[in-house]
Each structure stands twice: as C-alpha cells, then as structure tokens.
Amino acid sequence: MTTWLDTVAGIVGPRHLITDPDTLAAACLDWRGRYRGRAQAIARPGSTAEVAALVRACVAAGAPIVPQGGNTSHCGAATPDDSGRALIIQLHRMQALRAVDADNNTLTAEAGCTLAQVQDAAAGVGRLFPLSLASEGSCQIGGNLATNAGGVAVLRYGPMRELTLGLEAVLPDGSVLDSLSGLRKNNTGYDLKQLLIGAEGTLGIITAATLKLFPAPEATATALVEVSNPADALALLHALQARFGDRLTAFELISGLCLQLLARHLPDARPPFMPPWCVLLELNDGGSEAVLNQALAEALCALRPQADAVLARHARERAQLWTLREQISEAQKRDGPSIKHDIAVPLSQLAGFIERADAALQQAFPACRVVCFGHVGDGNLHYNVSYTRPGNVDLFDDEPAVNALVYDLVYAHGGTLSAEHGIGQLKRDWLRRYLPPANLAAMRAVKQALDPLGLMNPGKVL
Amino acid sequence: MTTWLDTVAGIVGPRHLITDPDTLAAACLDWRGRYRGRAQAIARPGSTAEVAALVRACVAAGAPIVPQGGNTSHCGAATPDDSGRALIIQLHRMQALRAVDADNNTLTAEAGCTLAQVQDAAAGVGRLFPLSLASEGSCQIGGNLATNAGGVAVLRYGPMRELTLGLEAVLPDGSVLDSLSGLRKNNTGYDLKQLLIGAEGTLGIITAATLKLFPAPEATATALVEVSNPADALALLHALQARFGDRLTAFELISGLCLQLLARHLPDARPPFMPPWCVLLELNDGGSEAVLNQALAEALCALRPQADAVLARHARERAQLWTLREQISEAQKRDGPSIKHDIAVPLSQLAGFIERADAALQQAFPACRVVCFGHVGDGNLHYNVSYTRPGNVDLFDDEPAVNALVYDLVYAHGGTLSAEHGIGQLKRDWLRRYLPPANLAAMRAVKQALDPLGLMNPGKVL
C-alpha cells in the first residue's frame, strides 16, 4: 500500500524526505529553545513545482504544513505544534539566483537563499541589498519575507516589505501565485504579495522574490554621540535628517546601562565615554568620504558643541563603534536572563513612553533593571527587563505581569507589541488582547478564504 | 412607509442625501467623459460612523455602493454601472486633519481631504508630503489611496502605498477596520491596509489614513539635459543615483516629438533646445542651494561634457523647465486625440521596449505618431499613439489593435499595462488577458471573503 509519505518521497526524491529522529528533533525546536513541537517528517523540495506538489499532497492527506527557512524566528513561528502530524517543508535547497539585473536595480532570489548570499550577489554587481540582521549568515530570504524583517537600515531603506517588488508563492490550495516582477509601479488589482509578506507562513509558502537593489555607497561616516536623554536624541535625529535626508542610514539609541554592562562583561568592547545616553549614527553617500566626514563633523559641532562624540577615522574604528551596539545582547546575556520586548511607538511618544514605563516598572519591581536600546530612528526599542526580584531569581514568573505593564503602556502611546520579530506562537494571545475585533475578524476571513482547511502553519499569528 | 432612502437620509441628514438630477448626472460621468452610469442617489456622510451606517443600510437593501472622491479617475473607477441601483458615497465632507505630528513625521487625514490640503498641512509644520499630481487641487486622499497614486516623486519617495503608515476603512459588512497607526515598524498579523490600498473601492471605503511626512527640502537644483536616446538616459540616471542617491527626486524622459508639439502648439512653453531626447531632472537636499547647484553642474560636466543642458538659476527658470514637462499633455491634446498608455517596464528593458514598440507600430500603421514621455526613473512611460490613419480620423477604431500590440510587447518585456492609473472599468478585460489565472483566482477569493454580496463598487478591477 502506498502511504502518504511515499507520495511525498516521490515528489522530492527519497533522499530529501527526512524522518531521522535527530534531524527531526532539531527542526522541531525553535532558535531560542522555548518551543518544542513534533512532526511526521521533513521534506526538502528543489523547485516551486515540488513545493506545490507537496502542498497538494498535504491537502489530500489533511496534514498540517510548517514552512521553515533558517529556523531563526524569535517567536516560534517556524516550529510545529505538538500534534505530530505536520510536514515540515525546508526551503534551503531552493537557493538559485534566478536573475541579477543591475540595470534595473533588482535581483530575483529563491526563498532558500540566505540573506548573506543575497547581500553578496548584490555586491558582486556593485549594488547594495540593505537588509542586515544578526542572523544574516543563516536566516533565509523566505523567512525574512514571511516575517517582514527589519534591522538597522530600516530608517533609510524600509523593512523587507518595502524592499520587495515581486513575489512567487505556493498558496494553500497548491496553486502558484506568480507576482514576480521588477516593476516599481504596478497597479493591476489587489497587491496579493503584501498579504504573504508578514503572514509568517500562514497564507502560503513563499518560493521566490524580486528584491530592490541600491547603488553601493561610496562613502561612510560613523559617530558615537552623547545625548542627555531620549528627547535629546530625537531632536538630534530631526536636525540631522533635515540636513542629510536619507543619507542618514542608522540612528541607534544606547542607554548608559548598556554601556556599563559592556564594560563589565566584555572587556574588548570598550565604550570611549560613559554618558547617560548616546546614539550611534551613520551616514552613507556617493562621492568623497573625506567630504562626508567633514560635513558630519561640522554638523555635530554646530548641533551639539558641548557633547562628547567620537567620529570613526577609518574602517577599524567604525567596526569598534558598531561592536558596542552589536554586543549589547551578549553583554546582557552574561548579566543574566531578561524579559525581552520588541516594541515600537511613534517617535513623538518615545521619550514619554520610556519615562512612564521606567517609573511604572520601578514602582512594581523596585530593584528591576531596564536595558533599553534600539533602532530609535524607527521608534523601535528593545526594552528588556531583569532583576524583578533580588538576584534575578524566578524572573520568568513575573513575565506576564511585566508584559502586561509594558504592553498596556505601549498601546496607550499608540505603539505595537511587535515591531520587527512578528507574532509566531509567542505573542498570539497578547495580539488578541490589543487588536480591534474588526481587524481580527477581517484577518480570519482572509485566512479562511485562502486556507479553508487551516493546514498552513497552524497555531501561528491567529 | 419608510423607504430605504429614508434610512439613508436619517443617517446623513436630508440635506446630505442628493437626488437632484443634475448633481446626480455629474457624479455619474467620469473625468475623461468615457463612462456614463446611473445611480439612485448620492449620500455625503460626515463621519466614519455615518459611512459604516450607510454601508449597513446598503447591505440591508442590496444596493451597490460606489465610493467617490474627487472623481478624477482616468479609468472610470468611481463611476457607477448602468443598473441605476447604486448609492454613490461622496467623501468630501470628511476632511478633518485628525492629527499633525511633526515630531513623528506623520499626519492623519480623513479621506475627503484634497491632496493639496494635505500638502499644505505638511508645509505648515515645516514638512513635505511628497505625492504630487496634476489633479492635486481636486483629487482626494481616499482616491489617492484607493488607486495607489504615483506621480513625479515616486523615484525617491515611492507611491501612495509606501507613503501610508496607517489606515481606517469601512469594510463591506459595515465594520470599521482600525489600522490608524503612525508606526514605521509594526508586525502584528496580516497587513490588511495593503489590501485596501489599490483596490479601487472594491474591498471597502477608506475613511482616513496616517501618512508619512519628510523634512522639507532646503535646496533644489533643476536641469534639462540632452540625451541621445533612452539607453543614454538610463546610463545618466544610474550615474546620478550613484553620486546623489535619493537626493535625485525626479528624472523625466521627454522625446523630441514632445518638444516639437510644445513649440508648435504652446508658444509660451519654449524648449531651450531641440534634441532627439532629453531628461528633466531635479535634486533636493538640506543645506545650501548654491552648493547643490555646483555639485550638479560638476557632475553633468563630468558625465555629459558634450551635451546641451540648462540649469535653472532661480525659481522662475525652474518653473519654466517644469512647464515643458507639465504641458506635454495639453500640447498633444491640441494636436488631436490619441490612444493613451500608462505602462511600465523594468528599467533594463526600457530602451529595447521603446525601440521594438516603435518599430511594430510603424509597421502596422506607417504614418502613426508616438508621443513618449514619463517618469522613466520608475520605468513608467506615457506612450501615446495617434495618426494611425491619415488625418487622425477614426483613431479609436484602431484602439483594440494598438492596445494589443503595445500590451503584448509590454508583457513580453516584463511590464505592466497599468503603472499608476489603475484598472477601473477601462482595463478590466485587458487585465484578464495578462494576469495569471492563479492570481485572478486568489483575488476573487479575497473579494468573496470580504464582500460576499458583491456590493462594493461592482464592475471595477475584477
């Protein structure tokens, strides 16, 4: 008798149907180790046609489908539930660069390409693909799209949604949505690719995308600048944007406590000064780097004549400054566990939110520590809380109370509980608390229309 | 007995229910005069709650709903069909600016605001709202959103979709989707506002939006530059983008025939030279205008030392150069009717497309004239054909043949038959010819899920 898995093996070839328990166990555990699910098998298709055939086979068998890229979700979005019936579809064999069109400033990549491969392909033709994440060596374009990934360059270039011109995806009925297009203007009906982007695999499996490229910057200027508080950081942001427009590509806020943790735990990441707050900012431009550095120095002297500031003189100093920003998570990890929040508020609300949230947490948990840093140019903060109790013991027992306090204030300030990490399994119940019922009902109607059997990455988002 | 229209009058007030035949006739005729429909009445709601109540009343009565903003669609998207059963909902009483948040670079406007009102509100707080269209004095934000409007500044700022952070809309069941948000990063489930944007009122009625603002440019530099052909124009575009990045805000291609028509029909719009092709380009920046002009002059001398070029020395000369671009349509109108195409192709395909389409048209219609101009930085061409027969008689008898020839070539070059004007009634049948069946099926599934009765702007898009 032919079983359902025989059909799957016939589609991808027996070598690409994996039932080995160790490999299966690894694919069923999320990156942060918070979720462990179960699955029947892993299939590794080599083409869009194979993905479509797999989806049709799953529909015929009533088997849930869990698409998986680099498995680096922070929210358990790529981890199956514990029904044990799911087929995990891993995309990493699909890593063709179908087209690199420098004259159109576009590139068409299959979903299994890592972000780093796409960055390299762009650089190979003198272009920039600006998305940049800590996990870029292992995260895949399909996952970047499914979660509408962000990162440090959103300030200028926007998130993954704004970097995407075209998309190919297998829909829950096994049909192939072909919206691969390198057009910057195209008004021909509903923009369905927007539904797939950010849907975390619940509306279909993204198999390829046409992405925007940009001229590779010829000049870079990087500075670390003291500011007195978040409101002062915002004033500096607006002044620099008025002067430099989109040449300002990064503007990262770092609190004094972040610098103290760096100094304490990571002796190689030495902050050059110890202000209450600082920003790490970067300009990119065509033309001469000396001219750009000079323009930034003049602007900072005019705007913040009294502030401590360091301008990178060469690539090594630039890397040292960025190490400060990039090592904050590691420094905090060495300091102990923390309750993490990936939140955003409108820029005009940012200083008020931080002040009120800090005060409310201090009142509820007098000894708590807040490690606050992030992509403040987008209003996006990583706002992490620890030491709710002496010695940081039983921290996660306080997680529901801490989340409720933080998220209530986030929404009171017009913000969001997920700026760039998505919902996955982690924030599903919280989303229901804050999203208006009509919005949830419309989402469910769309899900029901495209995935009436509910087989596509069940238990995520909705 | 209470009729259905009594209910409508009760919702908006009798003064705002219009059944006067002249007003009704004007609302039933599209801007270009190609479509004349019929309707029962016009309702002019004053709030989102009234729009929602109107939609529920129409659902109860089974009456089709036609949302109408400034009624400036080029495709008949706001004109009812001839059933005579529709209620036209005009939004122009809803023109509150609910919030202007300069610190967040956002503004929340109701759908009935004209584009010019939004531009002015942004300028009032020292900011720029960059969307700019010929009809900006009368077109409304709701219509700009429903058609994902474009214009000359898309090169830097993107179309309406990319300028929109939040949206409020009444869905076809009368519920209110509340996604008004001023956040640049927000990953909390399906981004439903993207469905409403560009759906031309077929999935709901947009009632308000939160829009991105930008620092107002402090310096502008404008030039008209001779190029030898479209390929040469693209090479110049890439060189200028490498040097100036997003400071290059406009890059418009104009053919020699456009300049000849201007000289012949509009003596006030005098082209300074008569090249085979030219581009009108503009840079914006913070800082000194003299510095920016100098930088542009140096770049043009280095890149095109032999080319004729004019740099505007002051605002009056800048306006004169822009008049050339803006008066092309008028000059062509005086030259007689034409078959218009609003197409886009990838930039890398642009020169090849123009060459092949020109040749194919010349072969099919030896005496035809092609007036070709447009936002070439986005690959968007207005490609207008006249004189298919001697004396330009019976031109529109050739429209199906000309469209088929042009659109077949557009799609062969990876392009689109509607770059920025949308589908409406005008291009519905053509869309079915070129869109993949799976895409059409998915669009229909979404339409069916949100508007199962099919009452929302029927006969448009799908």
- Within a domain: residue A165? yes
Q: Which residues pair with A309 in a beta bridge?
A: A225
> Across the strands, what pairs with A65?
A87, A456
Interval A158-167: pLDDT, tens:
999 999 999 9
Chain A touched by B352 (CB under 8 Å): no
What value does the mean pLDDT take over residues A305-326? 94
Q: A290: how many CB neighbours lie within 10 A of its CB?
A: 10
Residue A250 in contact with residue A316, Cβ under 8 Å? no
Let me know if residue A30 belongs to a domain.
Answer: no
> Contact at 8 Å (CB) between A331 and A264?
yes
**What are the phi and psi torsion angles at B362 (to 5°)?**
-60, -40
A130 and A232 in a single domain? The answer is no
B238 at A interface, C-beta within 8 A: yes
Kindly report the average pLDDT of chain B as a whole number: 95
Determine the distance in angstroms separating the CA of B15 from the nearest CA of chain A, rounded to an integer: 31
Any idea how long chain A is?
462
* Chain B interface test: which of A187, A206, A207, A220 (most B C-beta within 10 Å): A187
Residue A304 lies in a domain: yes
Residue B14 sits in a domain of what CATH number? 3.30.43.10
Write out the E strands in A44-151: 65-68, 87-90, 97-101, 106-110, 127-128
* B270 DSSP assignment: -
Decide which of A330, A358, A378 is a domain's last residue: A330
Residue B163 has a pLDDT of 97
Tell me whether residue A188 is in a domain: yes
pLDDT digits (tens, 9 = 90+) for B243-281: 999 999 999 999 999 999 999 999 888 899 999 999 999
Q: State the nearest Cα–Cα gap between A228 and chain B, in angstroms.
A: 18
Q: Is B419 on the interface with A (CB under 8 A)?
A: yes
| DSSP-assigned letter for residue A64 | -
Q: Is B177 on the interface with A (CB under 8 A)?
A: yes
Cβ–Cβ gap B286/A195 under 8 Å: no
Unique residue bearing structure tokens 């760039």: A420
- Is residue A114, in this structure, part of any structural domain at all? yes
* Claim to verify: residue A178 and residue A107 sit in the same structural domain: yes
The whole-number pLDDT of residue A356 equals 98
- Residue A107 buriedness (CB in 10 A; 0-12 / 13-18 / 19+): buried
Classify residue A12 as left (phi > 0), alpha (psi -120 to 50) or beta.
alpha
Name the one residue in this structure whose structure tokens are 């309750």.
A339
Residue B1: predicted pLDDT: 63
Is A103 a residue whose pLDDT tops 90?
yes
B421 contact A CB<8A? yes
Hey, is the C-beta of B337 within 8 angstroms of any chain A C-beta? no
pLDDT in tens, A402-461: 999 999 999 999 999 999 999 999 999 999 999 999 999 999 999 999 999 999 999 999
Q: What percent of chain B has pLDDT over 90?
A: 94
Asked, for residue A432, whether it belongs to a domain, the answer is no
Flag whether residue A101 sits within 8 Å of chain B, measured between CB atoms: yes
Residue B267: what pLDDT? 86
Decide if A182 and B414 are in contact by the 8 Å CB cutoff: yes
User: A208 CB near a chain B CB, below 8 Å?
Assistant: no
DSSP H helices, B78-198, are: 115-124, 141-146, 154-157, 193-196
Sorted by sequence, the CB contacts under 8 Å of residue B194 that are 6+ apart come out as A191, A194, A195, B161
Based on the domain organization, do B45 and B61 belong to the same domain?
A: yes
Do A184 and B154 lie within an 8 Å CB cutoff?
Answer: yes
Best A108, A167, A185, A443 residue to mutate vs chain B (most B CBs within 10 Å): A185
Q: Each residue of A169-200: b (16+ CB within 10 Å) or e?
A: bbbbbbbbbbbbbbbbbbbbbbbbbbbbbbbb
Question: Cβ contact (<8 Å) for A189 and B347?
Answer: no
Interface check for A399 against chain B (CB to CB < 8 A): the answer is no
Q: Do B183 and A414 touch (CB under 8 A)?
A: yes
Q: Is residue B430 part of a domain?
A: no
Residues B326 and B344 in one domain: no
Contact (CB<8Å) B189/A443: yes
Q: How many CB atoms lie within 10 A of CB B359?
A: 11
Tell whether A325 and A382 lie within a shared domain. Answer: no
- Neighboring chain A residues of B181 at a CB cutoff of 8 Å: 414, 416
Strand partners, A211: A107, A164
What does the alpha-carbon distance between residue A458 and residue A201 come to, in Å, rounded to a whole number?
A: 9
d(CA B112, CA B69) in angstroms, rounded, equals: 7
CA distance A268 to chain B (A): 32
DSSP state of B454: -
Same domain, B292 and B369: no
Domain end call among B330, B364, B385: B330
Q: Is residue B151 very low, low, confident or very high in pLDDT (cuts 50, 70, 90)?
A: confident
Find, among B456, B321, B420, the residue nearest to B72 by Cα. Answer: B420
How many domains, in total, are found in chain B?
A: 4
Q: Does the beta-carbon distance from A445 to B448 stay under 8 Å?
A: no
Is residue B57 a part of any domain in this protein?
A: yes
| C-alpha distance from residue A359 to each of A341, A363, A370, A389, B95 (Å) | 17, 6, 11, 16, 39
pLDDT tens digits, B326-375: 899 899 989 999 999 999 999 999 999 999 999 999 999 999 999 999 99
Q: Which of A184, A190, A349 sits opposite B379 (nearest CB)?
A: A184
Token pair, residue B200, equals 């031309």
| B439 and chain A in contact, CB less than 8 A | yes
Does the beta-carbon distance from B178 to A418 stay under 8 Å?
Answer: no
DSSP classification of residue A283? E
Q: Which domain holds residue B195?
A: 97-215
| Confidence tier at A2 by pLDDT (50, 70, 90) | confident
Supply the pLDDT for residue B402: 98
Give pLDDT tens digits for A50-80: 999 999 999 999 999 999 999 999 899 999 9
Put simply, whether A129 touches B (Cβ < 8 Å) is no
Query: Residue B245: which of A184, A285, A438 has the nearest Cβ?
Result: A285
Kindly state whether residues B314 and B345 are assigned to the same domain: no
- Using CB atoms, pick whichever of B183, B192, B247 lies closest to residue A344: B183
CATH of the domain at A373: 3.30.70.2740
Task: Please tell me the distance in Å from B353's CA to the nearest CA on chain A.
Answer: 14
Do residue B14 and residue B51 come from a single domain? yes
Same domain, A241 and A198: no
Are both B210 and B271 inside the same structural domain? no
Cα nearest neighbour of A287 on chain B: B243
Whether A305 and A223 map to the same domain: the answer is: yes
Judge if A211 and A101 occupy the same domain: yes
- The per-residue pLDDT for A1 is 62
B320 vs B311: CA distance, rounded Å: 11
The answer to whether ipTM exceeds 0.90 is yes
CA nearest to B415 within chain A: A183
| C-alpha span between A315 and A222 (Å, rounded) | 9
The pLDDT, as a whole number, for residue B33 is 87
Contact state of A195 with B195 under an 8 Å Cβ cutoff: yes
Are A272 and A252 a contacting pair, CB within 8 Å?
no
| pLDDT at residue number A217 | 92
Q: Which helix (H) or strand (E) holds B222?
A: strand B219-227
Instruction: State whether residue A154 sits within 8 Å of chain B by CB.
Output: yes
* CA count, 13 A, side-chain hemisphere, A243: 16
Given CB atoms, is B57 within the 8 Å cutoff of chain A? no
Per CB-CB distance under 8 Å, the chain A contacts of B215 are 238, 241-242, 245
Contact A104 B379 (CB under 8 A): yes
Tell me the CATH number at B271.
Answer: 3.30.70.2190
In the predicted model, is pLDDT for residue B148 greater than 90?
Answer: yes
How many CB pairs below 8 Å do chains A and B form together?
A: 273
3-class state of residue B187 by DSSP:
coil
Give B34's pLDDT tier (boundaries 50, 70, 90).
confident
Tens-digit pLDDT profile for residues B37-57: 999 999 999 999 999 999 999
User: Per the CB < 8 Å rule, is B346 touching A183?
Assistant: yes
* Domain final residue pick, B289, B315, B330: B330
> What average pLDDT is seen over chain A?
95
pLDDT of A351-404, one tens digit each? 999 999 999 999 999 999 999 999 988 999 999 999 999 999 999 999 999 999
Distance from CA of B347 to the nearest CA of A (A): 5
Say which amino acid occupies A50. Answer: E
The tally of CA atoms less than 13 A away on the side-chain side of residue A237 is 29
| Secondary structure element (H or E) that encloses residue B12, with its range | helix B4-12
- Tokens for B174, please give them: 């009368």
Please name the member of B375, B419, B443 whose beta carbon is closest to the beta carbon of A186. B419
Strands (DSSP E) found in B256-410: 277-285, 309-311, 342-344, 369-375, 380-386
CA A343 – CA A407 distance, rounded (Å): 8
Q: Does A182 touch chain B (CB under 8 A)?
A: yes
Q: Is B298 on the interface with A (CB under 8 A)?
A: no
Query: What whole-number distance in Å separates Cα of residue A56 and Cα of residue A140?
Result: 24
